Structure 1
């Protein structure tokens, strides 16, 4: 069998370059291409070492570990211990993720079932089933891109969930517990009192609120009906707002007794706030029930959570 070492080495160099590049992108490192190419070159030499009997010691797990440290050092340098270990571990994660994705895709596409003379026969090809270079060349960039997109998405969701707080709303003896999104883009406030306005998804708490309040939240034009007999009449406000692509709108709002926010090991008690009642779903994936105003997070009554 003829083995073209130059072709194998070049393909491995390209793959190692992409793996190191993905490692740097995920860690948001300021990369230098010449260092990434140096790391890829050192990593690709391992393929050549496998064909040199005197270097068989490099196939030992301890040797592979040291070799991977050299790859991480050459590609990203050494500024401090934690920085270096993060690069090294992420390189392993990316390698296993992309390599596992390729192997998983390969065996997913394999058929272990066939019919011979009318009899269903199953067989296992095992891990010795060769993976063609064409499959690797075509599949590697796809798995690489997919892995980057998924990991970026997970990072974005992590940042998103860092902005989720536990919220308790107390109104006239009624307590509502909700998950609140801290949204710096929410600048809604009452034009008269200048109080910040948080937004609550009423549809999730309709059973806990008076029916008249829920009805007016759906249609604010019913606000004037049965005046003087409506519950919480002294708490009701009408807040003007403007949404993208819509004319001026109005939102029913309530003045609560207290809103308690628990976030980042802190408890923030807010009294000077209005609660806008929206009957539109705020989170399509049901991640939060209300949107908090950023001014609520800098309340004067700030206490450390017990």
Structure 2
């Protein structure tokens, strides 16, 4: 049987190099091109070893582990044990992710009832695999791309989840409870009192809130111009806040002073009366993960003891 060793080695060198690149992307580590080249070269040497009298050793798990260790050291170096171990584990995770995706895609497209016979035949000839090299060559970059995008999406969701808080607002007889996102880029303040302003979407609360509060979100321009009247109680709470939005340098929004703003995150709790809220009917999150943009200054106050629930 003819074995095109140069082609097989070149493909393995390319794939090992791409796996190192994806590992670096996941770990957010900068890596030089020559390190990628060196790590890919080391990983591909196991193919050449399989063609020598040491072929039995090349397939041993310890040998594969040693090659992986050398690849990680060549790519990222050694700073401390945890740094090295995270690189090694991530490399294996990426390898299993890519390899499993390719195998799953292959047998999803084409199921072969004679798979067992083919595997045995390929093994008896000393080399080969039922998965065609052409499929791997085409499928690997595609799986690599989507794996990277999926991991980045997971990271974004995780970061966003870590910044989510529970927000409770008391405004007269109205109680509002929403999920909020802490936005460090929110620099909206009342220019007079210097109190931070929190944005709340009431799109999903229209059936729960009084009509007068909904009017503040839908007809705020008419209220500012005096074309729409509101109750004296809300008028005493009302503030007019200048802000900037994309495409417009100056815009005025309405904000209200609530009785108290309560923010809960994990076991921490903050309460403040020095804050303003502004209603909008726009959806703030595409997947409705949060309904409120929390100003980071609202979390700089004194922490309160979070009430515990006793189970008898």
TM-score if structure 1 supplies the norm length?
A: 0.85
The alpha-carbon deviation at position 304 of structure 1 amounts to 6.4
CA separation of 1:294 and 1:229: change in aligned 2, threshold 3 A = closer
Partner of 2:242: 240
The alpha-carbon deviation at position 202 of structure 1 amounts to 1.7
1:157-192 per-position Cα deviation (integer Å, ceiling 9, x unaligned): 222222221211122243322111111222222233
Q: State the secondary structure of the residue aligned to 2:11.
A: helix
Partner of 2:90: 90
Partner of 2:303: 302
Does the 8 Å contact 1:260/1:269 carry over to 2? yes
Partner of 2:122: none
1:128-163 per-position Cα deviation (integer Å, ceiling 9, x unaligned): 472222222222222212211221222222222222
Question: Structure 1 CA distance, aligned partners of 2:186 and 2:152?
Answer: 25
Question: Structure 1 CA distance, aligned partners of 2:146 and 2:242?
Answer: 44
Which is worse superposed, 174-183 or 60-69? 60-69
1:110-139 per-position Cα deviation (integer Å, ceiling 9, x unaligned): 2x5xxxxxxxxxx63547472222222222
Tell me, yes or no, if structure 1 residue 124 matches structure 2 residue 113.
Answer: yes
Partner of 1:218: 218
Q: State the secondary structure of the residue aligned to 1:57.
A: helix
Partner of 1:119: none
| Unpaired segments ≥5 residues, structure 1 | 113-122
Does the 8 Å contact 1:199/1:276 carry over to 2? yes
Partner of 2:310: none
Question: Structure 2 CA distance, aligned partners of 1:89 and 1:264?
Answer: 30
Does the 8 Å contact 1:36/1:76 carry over to 2? no
Partner of 2:165: 165
Question: Structure 2 CA distance, aligned partners of 1:199 and 1:109?
Answer: 49
Does the 8 Å contact 2:171/2:258 carry over to 1? yes
Question: Structure 2 CA distance, aligned partners of 1:238 and 1:275?
Answer: 11
Q: State the secondary structure of the residue aligned to 1:47.
A: helix
Partner of 2:174: 174
TM-score if structure 2 supplies the norm length?
A: 0.84
CA separation of 1:135 and 1:255: change in aligned 2, threshold 3 A = same
CA separation of 1:213 and 1:305: change in aligned 2, threshold 3 A = closer
Does the 8 Å contact 2:216/2:279 carry over to 1? no
Q: State the secondary structure of the residue aligned to 2:176.
A: strand
Question: Structure 1 CA distance, aligned partners of 2:53 and 2:190?
Answer: 79
Partner of 1:16: 16
Partner of 1:115: none
The alpha-carbon deviation at position 20 of structure 1 amounts to 0.9
Question: Structure 1 CA distance, aligned partners of 2:114 and 2:93?
Answer: 27
The alpha-carbon deviation at position 228 of structure 1 amounts to 7.4
The alpha-carbon deviation at position 93 of structure 1 amounts to 1.0
The alpha-carbon deviation at position 96 of structure 1 amounts to 1.1
Count residues in correspondence.
294
Q: State the secondary structure of the residue aligned to 2:167.
A: strand
Partner of 2:123: none
Does the 8 Å contact 2:182/2:293 carry over to 1? yes
Question: Structure 2 CA distance, aligned partners of 1:229 and 1:98?
Answer: 62
| Equivalent residue for 2:264, pick from 262, 286, 292 | 262
| Unpaired segments ≥5 residues, structure 2 | 120-128, 308-312
Does the 8 Å contact 2:115/2:130 carry over to 1? no
The alpha-carbon deviation at position 199 of structure 1 amounts to 0.5
